[in-house]
Amino acid sequence: MSSGLPPVFLINMVRDTERRRQMTERMNAIGLPFTVFEAIDGSKLDLANCRYYDGQKRRRYFGRDMTKGEVGVLMSHRAIMQRMVDENIPAAVILEDDVTFEPDFPDVLRALMTAKTRWDIVRFLGSPKIYRLGRRLIAPICGRYWLARIPGTHGGAHAYLLTNPAAKVLLARTEPAWVPIDTLQGRCWSTGLDSLVVHPCPLATDPAAGSTIEDKRFDKTLQIDGLDRTLYPLRRFLLKLGETIGKRAVYWGAWWRDGRGGTTKGPES
């Protein structure tokens, strides 16, 4: 670690030179050292023969495959986690190349590394939508920032800090995977990881950057037929029911561990 900061890995496609330039300027401006990690190009993957993707399970519960881009992103994140394990890195920040930072983001990272509150993964989720069901402030970090717990299984893997043990868990859960990496991070009842957020969020996604994952991921067209298509509504219902029970159990099950609930806040105004 440098000056109390954990290692920071920036995922970037070789061809995305402009994104890399912008991110370099942004991180240099706030004094955040980082290492560029070459992203895996999902367009070159053969999903039918990818050891890290379980297409059969994916289609069973979602009726269609993940896109090649989604699997490529998952494999890129996974490769950094493998590096953390191989090099025995205690904790690291993983960033995608479409974020902007508050000037005090490095201070938040330093404070998290010495925080007394237990966490396995801290996700930096800045969208106001994640607070529509409320939030529970757990402990102050530094300045105006708090560690908080939110209900729900919110997506977004553009920025997070995770421990080495958490990396090992996510590695095991992605060999193979059937949900994107951000969805997996929200399934705490399945992984057993203690996932928190920082409120307010010290970074945000850059709306001008756009997504490198193809829009096909929003396509809801079913890619199944026969018995799988017949059973799909039931399987989907059971999946959603399990998710609802799981996320509520995690959120309220942590009530005592969070100091009898911390400070409950309603939706963002």
Residue 192: inside a domain, yes or no?
Answer: yes
Task: Tell me whether strands 195-199 and 263-265 are parallel, antiparallel or unpaired.
Answer: unpaired
Strands (E), 88-222: 91-96, 99-101, 121-123, 135-142, 145-149, 159-163, 195-199, 203-205
Is the pLDDT score of 172 beyond 90?
A: yes
CATH at 211: 3.90.550.10
Residue 63: inside a domain, yes or no?
Answer: yes
Burial profile 8-44: b = 16 or more Cβ within 10 angstroms, e = fewer: bbbbbbeebeebbebbeebbeeeebebeebebbbbee
Site of tokens 């997070």: 160
Distances in Å between the Cα of 54 and the Cα atoms of 57, 157, 188 are: 6, 20, 20
Summarised one tens digit per residue, pLDDT across range 49-63 is 999 999 999 999 999
> In the chain, how many domains are there?
1
pLDDT at 79: 97
Task: Label residue 209 by pLDDT band (50, 70, 90).
Answer: low
Residue 3: inside a domain, yes or no?
Answer: no
DSSP line for 156-174? --SEEEEEHHHHHHHHHHT
Task: Label residue 251 by pLDDT band (50, 70, 90).
Answer: confident
Residue 30: inside a domain, yes or no?
Answer: yes
Residue 220: inside a domain, yes or no?
Answer: yes
DSSP state at residue 66: P
Strand-pair partners of 157: none
pLDDT at 252: 86
Name the 3-class secondary structure at 97: coil
Residue 34 neighbours by CB under 8 Å, 6+ apart: 8, 9, 10, 27, 95
Supply the range of the domain harboring residue 131.
Answer: 8-265
Residue 234: inside a domain, yes or no?
Answer: yes
Is the pLDDT score of 212 beyond 90?
A: no
Summarised one tens digit per residue, pLDDT across range 83-119 is 999 999 999 999 999 999 999 999 999 999 999 999 9
For residue 16, the number of C-alpha atoms closer than 13 Å in the C-beta half-sphere is 22
Summarised one tens digit per residue, pLDDT across range 24-49 is 999 999 999 999 999 999 999 999 99
- CA–CA separation, 109 and 228 (whole Å): 46
pLDDT at 268: 43
